[in-house]
Amino acid sequence: MIYRSRLQKFYIEKIVPSLMKKFRYSSIMEVPKLIKIVIHQGVGSSIFDKKIIDYSVNEITNITGQKAIFCYSKHDESGFKLRKGMPIGVKVTLRRTKMYEFLERLIVVSLPRVRDFNGVKESSFDNHGNYNMGIMEQMIYPEINIDKIKKNMGMNITFVTSAKKNEEAKSLLSLFGIPFKKK
């Protein structure tokens, strides 16, 4: 028997029939699905302090449950004292079960911990069915020990879907439980 997270089962049992009815898909294969979630944290200040990037790797690894990798600069930039090949960011790509588990923790635990939270912006869709959101501080995740934070850093979260239009992607993500702002 294959292990499926609670959100994964919810997608199969509730979201797929709901989207098929709403958009009148003729086949179950047309229903948009969540392909991957990419969490990225830019650490430009690692140029001056090399330990910050190591802290960032540890934090992102703790948050996602998967080892984070470095993102390296592609060319020199003298204005920022940046050389080609220097680590300037950290990222993780989540797929399958880990992706659904991270999404559930984000919706149920982390987003409600954001100060003055009233939903995520609807305007952050690209025209290919993907959604980007920014988190201002990593303290909203319960996996982070607040006493061990060296620097307050935000992160970008990208939801990559198989939807062709923004409306389909928004319906998919809102059925998962992502709270969009009311207009």
CB-CB contact of 170 with 125 (8 Å)? yes
Counting as low any pLDDT under 50, the low residues of the chain are none
Burial of 38 (0-12, 13-18, 19+ CB in 10 A): middle
**Domain edges within the chain:** 39-175
What pTM was computed for the model? 0.82
CA distance 80 to 45: 10
CB-CB contact of 173 with 111 (8 Å)? no
CA distance 11 to 105: 16
Fold for domain 39-175? 50s Ribosomal Protein L5; Chain: A, (3.30.1440)
How do residues 35-84 score in pLDDT, each as one tens digit?
A: 999 999 887 655 566 777 778 788 888 888 888 888 777 666 666 666 77
| pLDDT value for 94 | 92
